[in-house]
Structure 1
């Protein structure tokens, strides 16, 4: 069964599907809405017959400015099989951001190729695919990327935020998807302060709410309710990660980052803390996925920022599995 990974991040599965990058094929699959997985999406919208993702992802892409024509939208829920001539595709859950998915393509002989996309919590939030060939993410594919505290981070984060709220408003900087995850975590651990957002984050969050991922009301800073909340001074405001360099001392600031491994929460100045809250599997989780996969061949995605060579070396040497990385040198 045909498979290749191109340097632009396009993953070719079977004969008719390209995933998370552009290539001249009938169907492009989008595993989730993060920037490194929607590169050249406007070109795919123009040239492909159809764009496949979960309905959630299609809705968020519209908010982010990608106008996919209705006739080209193939929004399919997890586990639904889509047949294109002699190939079959399905999306499976991925615990990354809301609406994210893994991809499985099979041919008429029954051979299956699976692509994890970005994931965390393998075997729990992310089911391990039953496939013959597995393509796996390598974002944290080196043994130096271990989060020994990952099971405690959610509660620690909520405790710190609650403590900060006793002294004034809190601002949290994160990417789309992780913002909504942070909202869910804070409510799970009893943080009840109202959420303030800008209009784009409001629109993305309303989609998460529409699909049942979160339940709480949110308020924009421009609304009358939002203005009253801000005046009272007890609230949590969310902004995109890219605005974290413009933070100021009126708030206790929290920056959510996946590239923290030494400690769960650390201070970088008197009013700013960095939180090791990642939506990616760390090295141990990645190895766990591979160890529990029955695939005869492991292909590591080396087209994105990650550690494909290191992961392949570890899998061969310590796990005695057949593994390669693509694209090659």
Structure 2
């Protein structure tokens, strides 16, 4: 039977991570891609975050401006933290992806391939659906000065402090483009790191499906051999899940904390803006997008929990 390619499902995810400098072929080393990743991650993410955070000290006496700046900055700063841990755990992540190619993780029959397809499809569906509100927020965010006409006053999409006068052309246009590229890079990194975490959960769930099917089909003269194989598979799944938790536990903790704070600040900001204004719609889409972000973790985590409590796996626990 032809080898099943688990990475095919997350092909778009890997491509996006490679574009923003988060998917080296064999780890970061002194080559062109590492230089590209350094420029992309530091110039368009870390430097941009620094300029935004620095602006807090400029508007700290204006409550509305301060809350508006803080809720926008929280997720961006979190992005830098998530990037650090993602890059730091890259070797572990590459090892996990390589482990999926092992023979014991492979579906052995056409039935098992069909069995794992719903899990793979659900991940693809969530990936596309997660992009929808994010793209809407991005469009509203970068076009807001144009929509309300403040572009004539040299207003930038994001309030930030820069060490030069942004009211002067062409510095204003250059800074505007820089902020647009920066938010696109950081959102792409955010979404694909989150969905890659969900993909690892999805892989754990599909392995549980394969193991359950193997348990249901233990019969014949080689009963003991098949049972031992299932027990080995179970142990490897448990180790794989533990390594997955090691990879993303800090990122998930930070995401839940920052999303909660950002949602609270966004709802407060909604009370300060005019109803049915473009800024009001932007805030509503923003709250919706960060809620979906948390939903992704909860959904796939719950799927893993349900599949781990399958009656056939409980029988295996009892056997052990």
In which range does the TM-score fall when normalised by the shorter chain? Answer: under 0.3
Q: Which has the larger radius of gyration?
A: 2
Q: Which has the higher helix share?
A: 2
Q: Which has the higher strand share?
A: 1
TM-score with structure 2 setting the length: 0.24
